[in-house]
Chain A
Amino acid sequence: MSFVPGLGIVKGMAITLRRFFEPKVTIKYPEESPDVAPRFRGRLQLLYDEWGTLKCETCFQCAQACPIECIDMGGIDTRGRYHVHWGPPETYGERREESALRRSGRPVPDRAFHHFQPVDLGAVDTILDEHDHDPKRMLEILEATQSAYGYLPVAALKQISQKTGAWYAMIYGTASYYGHLRFEPAEDAAQATAVAAARPPDASYVTALGAALGGANGRPGARGRS
């Protein structure tokens, strides 16, 4: 208990008054950016490991888990597959609104769409009718779409997503997982070789096994890394 009652209050108020005139510590994001340590784990960017490999496996779990579907994949992944570049939404609000529109069945204005060639979606609609617009038969729908177009065009995937109600992330995740589905036309030789190099088809394993055994299917002798 101090001698003068209320002195504590006065001292406290003096402190706050001094604070009133001190410089503020708020960082006005996004005009200003905070300084973060190099190992900061909160950055919204993909990281590379020390050998230059992208750490992201494109397993799509983040996109599938995101309740507002604001994550998209783009670029070339570790397996050399070229993924559709969707483009990030400008703001959170835009993404939510688009998602809500899509789920309500209304067409969604797609700002990134114009980057891609429009395709005739009649084939997709026929396929969807055959499969009863059932999202549980997604793999069959995708295989049928690939046999109709030769690859999986973005426009077709969007249409499937709209008509079946399945999340685009889910469809994309399914399509990018199975080795026989591709997003680029088969004529793209460079892409085909890149994919084959990163994710070798079964035939190459069989050949390599034969070579490693040096047995009936391969020739004996030295060779380099198979």
Chain B
Amino acid sequence: MTAISRSWNRLTLPGKVIFTVVPALVVLTIGLVVAIAILGGPALDLVVANLPIVRFVVAATAILLMTIPTAFLIIYMEMKGIALMNLRIGPDRVGPFGSLLSVVHGLKVLMKEDFTPTGADSVVFTWAPVVVYLASVMTLLVIPFGPGLVGQHFQLGLLYFFAISGLSVVGLLMAGWASFNKYSLLGGLRSAAQVISYEIPLVLSVVGVIMLAGTMDLVVIVENQAGWFTDWYIWQQPLGALIFFIAATAEANRTPFDLTEADSEIVAGFATEYSGMRFGFFFFAEYVNVFIISALTVTLFFGGWNAPFPWPWPITLDLDPGSLGIGLLFVVALVPLALTLILATPFWLVSSRIKGWQALVIGFVLANLFLVGAVAAAGYIGFDWVAGLAWFMLKAYVFVFIFVWMRGTLPRVRIDQLMNFAWKWLMELAFLNIFITAGAIILIKYLNPEALP
């Protein structure tokens, strides 16, 4: 008990909030499910009557909960990926291949001293990271993770996305101002300038896609890219995609545009006075942002949750485990056991150094993998949303890897080079893209009236 109370005392206020709210949410969800199961009818009727609200609450909870493991995973990917590119090993000791390191980092960030500088506007100071974090995370509400898996289906999804992500500028300025540090203020102004400069090419580059799809609805955009990978918008909007990618990198403060958070620049950065969980919020916001812009890139240009090839034949998997009756119990009990033994035997036979129990452990692990794989495959084939989600995540993480790759390769640009690039090059190219796209659409419509919607 004292171990728990001691750890509790070590947490800062945001840590205490998180460690109360998140378990509470989990308990609430479980409680809801149990209530539905036990009480049955009345609870279910209540839920159905308020379905939109329930749906929204579930979506919001899921998104908030999802961001933290995502951030952990991306942080780990980044540390490991950049290390491997630098011919180092990277995190190695904490957990298998160092995978638990980012979790430990998260806990560390919770335990650090959380102070507010003297003279800082404490309300603004406290809320700035929250604004930045929410501005990033709220945009996840409109991204389609799979067919039917979208937080809220807006027809103006893309507009909502850019509007909300623009709020992060407010957060940056709040951070810079409330730090009561003139260098932080200047740093905050610089990063705000960077973000808003690149918003324009970002939005303009997407106009081409909007013209092609005819709508700002992200779900419709993804559905338009169904079929073979040649249907993806990347082939129809290469320049737009390129501009979008570069502008999105700058929006997310990633290399090569990360001078606001670079180690040598951090003294003049907006986050200088932040420590502990407040800084943790900025940190998480940035990594979630990376995921979000990868997700958006995938959604807009690379087919979203579509597989690169259309599923050639319709498959219905009529799995009805319930029909086995009591046999189901035997299957559940015996199949893992049998699999373990079957998979353990070759290992035990092949080498005398592998003792019996070691072979059994290996067999057990492999059996688990096999079963999980089988369930996943069944889900993939049986439910289209599983397949969609899988492809979406795969593609999004490929882009996350590209961001990590860029960070490990490219040098940083200066602030003047950055602004130059945004205003003198990207914006012009984005306009050019719009004109070319519009011209092409008109031309094609003229030549072939039925081709485009």
Name A's B-contacting residues (CB within 8 A).
9, 12-13, 15-17, 19-20, 22, 24-26, 28
Contacts and interface: CB of A to CB of B under 8 A. Distances in A.
A222 B81 CA distance: 80
A16 B408 contact: yes
A26 B89 contact: yes
Nearest to B89: A26
B87 A16 contact: no
B405 A19 contact: no
B122 interface: no
B87 A12 contact: no
A27 B242 CA distance: 40
Contact of A13 (B84, B88, B92, B409): B409
A16 B405 contact: yes
Nearest to A21: B84
A15 B409 contact: yes
A219 B86 CA distance: 78
Interface of B: 81, 84-89, 92, 405-406, 408-410
Nearest to B93: A28
A9 B406 CA distance: 9
Nearest to B84: A20
Per DSSP, are chain A's interface residues mostly helix, strand or loop, or mixed?
A: helix
B84 A12 contact: no
Interface core residue of A12, A20, A22 (most chain B CB under 10 Å)? A20
B410 A12 contact: yes
A2 to B, nearest CB: 16
B85 A19 contact: yes
Contacts of B89: 24, 26, 28
Contacts of A28: 89, 92
Contacts of B408: 16
A13 B87 contact: no
B410 A19 contact: no
Q: Which 7 A-B pairs have the closest CB atoms?
A: A16-B409, A26-B89, A16-B85, A12-B409, A13-B409, A25-B87, A19-B85
A22 B87 contact: yes
B406 A13 contact: yes
Given A9-B410, A15-B409, 10 more contacts: A13-B409, A16-B85, A16-B408, A16-B409, A19-B84, A19-B86, A20-B85, A22-B87, A24-B84, A26-B87
